[in-house]
Structure 1
Amino acid sequence: MRLLKNTITILFAGIILFSSCRSEETIIIDPPIANAITPFSKAAVLMERTTLKDGSKDNIIDQANCITIKLPITVVANGTELVISDDTDYQDIEDIFDEFTDDNDTITIAFPIKIILSDYTVIEVNNTEELENFKQDCSGENEVDSDIECIDFVYPIEASLFNTSNEQIGTTSITNDEMLHKFIKDIDENIVVTLDFPVKLKKANGEYVYANNIDDLEELIEAATYDCDEDDDNDYNDDDCDECTQEDVKKFFRDFQELKVYKFERNGDDLHEQYQNYIFWFKEDGTIKVFLNNDHLYGTWELSGTGNDITLNITINDLPDFNENWKLHEITRESDEYEIDLRNGDDQLIFAKNI
């Protein structure tokens, strides 16, 4: 488990072995202090946090942002048994949970299972009580936690190792988050580490950035720490809109100009029947035209935000039930019907178009 630390130990043993007969070929350099990574330094802490394993992708099962359940596992979701073999299978659970909005969603895990902690430690868990004990160490849903998810390292990263005499004693190539996390965590106080700059990183919006030295690295990570929605909800993938754009919503409204209310719940009341005969037209100029028999009503709509944080503001003075900053949940096709699903807490509004 301590492969990197053992590697460093072996390198030190090699230095001791040939120190008495060291020739002029021995590499002796003086790495700049500004680019040195030492235990508990600012750069080391930021790199550790950036490489922590994010446990939110399976929150629909364990509701724990700092724990990942090792797959495959078997679960029972609302009475249906599922084998979860890879990340794509989480969608099967969500599909079952989303089938009805007025039921209590339940999930049961078939134990024993193995969990992976944020530091990549793997532990066997035999029952719900044991799992709950580990979950207590995690921050709650959408609460601030230790891991930095809005920026990632792009691998490989090359690192050099020096002893206290500034003699280079080895190099290593780091190829993933787990390896880098353990490498940084296991730096010995008698070892000086430098990275081969520039170091490439990828921001949550897909932009690539480069750190040319330790100062750049610290600044880039700090600037990105709270730069995105970390998707720490207890659903799956913040309900599938990581890649959603405002253009997706606009295109939906352009393509489907006569929408009907498919589902509408507010404050615990089912309003679908009340509005099932209304027809909505979201026009490109930001206005809404509502038809009911021979009557016409008017309102406005406006979009804000990106990705899984897109908000649709609806204002129709004569229909106050619709007036809200609705969060885009999903845009889906069900057989011959297209739907746009909007949420606000426990409230839900779905517009649909049959084709």
Structure 2
Amino acid sequence: MKTLKFISAIAITAILSFTSCQSEESTEVGTNPNANSSTSTTASNYERAAMNDGSDDDFLDGNSCTELLFPLSATINGKPITLISKLDFSTVLNIMGEFNDDNDTVIFDFPISVKTSNYTEVVVNNQAEFSTLKQQCETAEQQGKDAISCIDIQFPVTMLTYNVTLEQTGSVVVQSEKQLYTFMTGLDGDELFAVNYPISATLSNGTSIQIKSDAEFQDAISECVQFEDEKDDAANTATEVEAILSGTKFKVETFITGGVNKANDYANWSIEFTNDSKIVAKNIINSVLGEIEGTYTVSSETDAFVNINFANNTAVSALKNDWIVSTYSNTLVTLKSKTDASVTLAFKKL
């Protein structure tokens, strides 16, 4: 889940408007030494937090700077599909999740429409234009012009306005992210603003907070960006571990539980992770024992996980667990129990 959203350079600049409540008096009148200019860090923080979020459909377009608009048609892994709303995302994910060792392909039926970070709707006519938007998004990230989508501000929020002599000129009641973005990008060079704190917000880790100053807003952003970075790192780890496991046979290198290494209990068993999320234990010495089939999934939060599920009362049922990925290479994957870090398991490639 990326947090980048960008104003496309090829998008036609839209004239955004909103109805604001403006008055010559408010709860704070007079001067405010903490007023911010349009080029301040606080202005940048609020502008980036208010950009249109295009990250929900990244698994389709690979571009968190644009939001796909419906309806649209595409071919997913060779299967044509028409998407009417976000409810159709589950169908796409099911197609992509059928096998975990293939390269998912998405071919759009152009033209398609997207909404950019500045809320402008743009018609994308071909793959070249689509690729240009994606490249601009990557450039935005490198230049620090990315949006902040890990914090949701609770509206309404009142912005107090000032002139360059710090005298209050009015106030604006902002009712939505789009209105906040319009307010921030509409400030002139000789206009200053201050947020009428406190305001409430929710971070992407689920924490609800009350913010009482510009500094606290910056701290909240730093906290949620760090959380998103950890999620991205974990997601990358999960992808790499799944690629190592899928379609490959392993042996139990170590299995430590209760302080004892019980790897010898599985010396005669191979463990195969198939590309359709099955895990198959096979006794390579005694064929009479046959095969024991279970399931596995690889997922992530702020850690990467491998869930192994075998039926109870089998020769390998003790391997059933929710495991956290500790370390991994192309030949060795080490895990620890999600509930008891002293229980560890290592698979070595055969």
TM-score, structure 2 as length reference:
0.61
Cα root mean square deviation, aligned: 4.7
| Change in 2 beyond 3 A, CA 1:29/1:133 | same
CA distance in 2, matches of 1:323, 1:214: 45
Once the 2 structures are TM-superposed, how far is the Cα of residue 215 of structure 1 from its aligned partner? 2.5
Map of 1:120 onto structure 2: 119
| Change in 2 beyond 3 A, CA 1:67/1:292 | same
Once the 2 structures are TM-superposed, how far is the Cα of residue 302 of structure 1 from its aligned partner? 6.2
The within-5 A match list for 1:191-206 is 191-206=191-206
The within-5 A match list for 1:188-227 is 188-227=188-227
Once the 2 structures are TM-superposed, how far is the Cα of residue 133 of structure 1 from its aligned partner? 1.0
Once the 2 structures are TM-superposed, how far is the Cα of residue 94 of structure 1 from its aligned partner? 1.2
Map of 1:74 onto structure 2: 73
Once the 2 structures are TM-superposed, how far is the Cα of residue 100 of structure 1 from its aligned partner? 3.0
Map of 1:46 onto structure 2: 45
Map of 1:350 onto structure 2: none
CA distance in 2, matches of 1:47, 1:136: 24
| Change in 2 beyond 3 A, CA 1:28/1:299 | closer
TM-score, structure 1 as length reference:
0.60
Once the 2 structures are TM-superposed, how far is the Cα of residue 206 of structure 1 from its aligned partner? 1.7
Map of 1:171 onto structure 2: 171
The within-5 A match list for 1:177-326 is 177-228=177-228, 264-265=273-274, 272=280, 274=282, 277-278=291-292, 303=323, 311=324, 323-325=333-335
Once the 2 structures are TM-superposed, how far is the Cα of residue 326 of structure 1 from its aligned partner? 9.2
8 Å Cα contact 1:279/1:292 also seen in 2: no
Structure 1 SS opposite 2:147: coil
| Change in 2 beyond 3 A, CA 1:191/1:135 | same
Q: What amino acid sits opposite 1:264 in the alignment?
A: F
CA distance in 1, matches of 2:68, 2:310: 48
Map of 1:135 onto structure 2: 134
8 Å Cα contact 1:5/1:186 also seen in 2: no
Structure with the larger RCO, 1 or 2 (CA within 8 Å, 6+ apart):
2
| Change in 2 beyond 3 A, CA 1:263/1:48 | farther
Alignment deviations for residues 244-287 of structure 1 (CA, whole Å, 9 cap, x no partner): xxxxxxxxxxxxxxxxx997148xxx974747723779xxxxxx
Once the 2 structures are TM-superposed, how far is the Cα of residue 299 of structure 1 from its aligned partner? 5.7
Unaligned runs of 5+ in 1: 16-24, 240-260, 282-287, 304-310, 315-320, 329-346, 348-355
Once the 2 structures are TM-superposed, how far is the Cα of residue 102 of structure 1 from its aligned partner? 5.1
Q: How many residues align?
A: 269
8 Å Cα contact 2:321/2:337 also seen in 1: no
| Change in 2 beyond 3 A, CA 1:299/1:222 | closer
Unaligned runs of 5+ in 2: 1-13, 240-269, 284-289, 296-308, 339-348
Q: What amino acid sits opposite 2:273 in the alignment?
A: F
Structure 1 SS opposite 2:172: strand
| Change in 2 beyond 3 A, CA 1:104/1:206 | closer
CA distance in 1, matches of 2:232, 2:174: 28
Map of 1:146 onto structure 2: 146
Identity level (%): 22
